[in-house]
Amino acid sequence: MFSPSIRSLIEEKAGSFIIPASRIAFVEDENPLYHAFLILTKMKYSKIPVLDKNQKVVGLISLSMITDKMLTPDNIVIEPLSDLKVKDVMQTDFETINFAHTNLETQLHLLVDNPFIPVVNDNNIFQGLLTRREWIKAFNYVTHSIDDKYDITKKSDPSEAS
Amino acid sequence: MFSPSIRSLIEEKAGSFIIPASRIAFVEDENPLYHAFLILTKMKYSKIPVLDKNQKVVGLISLSMITDKMLTPDNIVIEPLSDLKVKDVMQTDFETINFAHTNLETQLHLLVDNPFIPVVNDNNIFQGLLTRREWIKAFNYVTHSIDDKYDITKKSDPSEAS
């Protein structure tokens, strides 16, 4: 069971743990790979969302997905950067979160295996990102505020009874 | 104040939140940049530690640090991959954790701005990594176990007194 006191503390801050779409670097699926190479190199993000022209999230792309296309058995080549589009190399198997339907347990569980999860609305339109970084901040808040708001006492351990 | 009950739960699991050095991909400072490009592309890690020949942590390197060297004003070039060494492009300003001296508060604080922190011993020899992923697991454990081991009751709020 997810602790009710911790849930309550996190819900006080609900909404502050998402990074809004307006602050996030992304590329479009029809962009040449060259463009994603530049964005990822300059922004220094390891992976970013890919949107279609309607702002729907259609994939994720990282530098290693791009550089992998540049490897040949005996050389590194730059032609794929102009020959391919983002949609040709992006990851299309990924999780999304819709705050209307995804509870805290599931959010936390998804972040074990994903550094970030795109947040979408019911029309799959990109709303922002939920990130491990923001959950580390949430955890930091919980560890420093729970004792101000709750009395916490250790339960007696039956195995320690003499 | 860091919650004593949460501290106790995390310390029960102490040591299980570090990924040991034997399981971590790294490169050496004298490796050609080409080698780091291959390792980072194939392992898909966004950033890895750089060790010297004595297993001391001397830097961190990411794909974007490498691809940044491949950008010229009007082209992308591959020559820097053979002309440069890892030590020429790695980040040398980074935090480390020594479990003998770094408390939980500091560990959590450092992970807000770093996806991982190299763990070293008193001789600066690489021991492993502390990662956001492992702390997300720790948080998951805390949220699901704290109510089994502690009685938690909301403090009365003086502002709600009638």
Segment A15-37 mean pLDDT: 91
Q: What is the maximal distance between C-alpha atoms in chain A? A: 75
Distance from CA of A4 to the nearest CA of B (A): 8
Q: What is the dihedral of CA B99, B103, B109, B112, to 10 degrees?
A: 30
Nearest in space to B131 (alpha carbons), one of B117, B141, B144, B121: B117
What per-residue confidence (pLDDT) applies to B123?
Answer: 92
Domain tally for chain B? Answer: 1
Is residue A98's pLDDT more than 80? Answer: yes
Structural domain range at position A97: 4-146
Is residue A34's pLDDT more than 50? Answer: yes
In chain B, residues with a C-beta closer than 8 Å to the C-beta of A1 are 144, 147
Segment A74-86 mean pLDDT: 95
Residue A141 inside a domain? The answer is yes
Average pLDDT, chain B: 91
Is residue A1's pLDDT more than 80? Answer: no
What per-residue confidence (pLDDT) applies to B102?
Answer: 86
Between CA B107 and CA B130 the distance in angstroms is 8
In chain B, residues with a C-beta closer than 8 Å to the C-beta of A137 are 112
In chain B, residues with a C-beta closer than 8 Å to the C-beta of A38 are 71
Copy the structure tokens of residue A143: 């560890």
Distance from CA of A158 to the nearest CA of B (A): 12
Query: How confident is the model over B92-106, as pLDDT tens digits?
Result: 999 999 988 888 889
Residue A152 inside a domain? The answer is no
Dihedral angle sign, alpha carbons of residues A72, A88, B77, B49:
negative
Copy the structure tokens of residue B57: 């942590």
The residues, ordered by sequence, that sit 6+ positions from B15 with a Cβ below 8 Å of its Cβ are none
Distance from CA of A121 to the nearest CA of B (A): 25
Query: How confident is the model over B67-94, as pLDDT tens digits?
Result: 999 999 989 999 999 999 999 999 999 9
Between CA B42 and CA B39 the distance in angstroms is 5
Segment B31-47 mean pLDDT: 94
Compare A158 and A100 and report the one with higher pLDDT: A100
In chain A, residues with a C-beta closer than 8 Å to the C-beta of B2 are 143-144
Residue B118 inside a domain? The answer is yes
* DSSP single-letter state for residue A158: G
Query: How confident is the model over A101-130, as pLDDT tens digits?
Result: 888 889 889 999 999 999 999 999 999 999
Residue A151 inside a domain? The answer is no
Do A3 and B146 count as a contact with CB atoms less than 8 A apart? yes
Residue A73 inside a domain? The answer is yes
Q: Report the CATH number that the domain containing residue A77 is assigned in CATH.
A: 3.10.580.10
Do B147 and A44 count as a contact with CB atoms less than 8 A apart? no
Residue B157 inside a domain? The answer is no
Copy the structure tokens of residue B70: 């491949």
A-B contacts at Cβ under 8 angstroms? 153
Asked whether this complex has an ipTM greater than 0.85, the answer is: yes
Nearest by CB to B115, from A41, A115, A143: name it. A115
Query: How confident is the model over A38-62, as pLDDT tens digits?
Result: 999 999 888 999 999 999 999 999 9
Residue A158 inside a domain? The answer is no
Residue A159 inside a domain? The answer is no
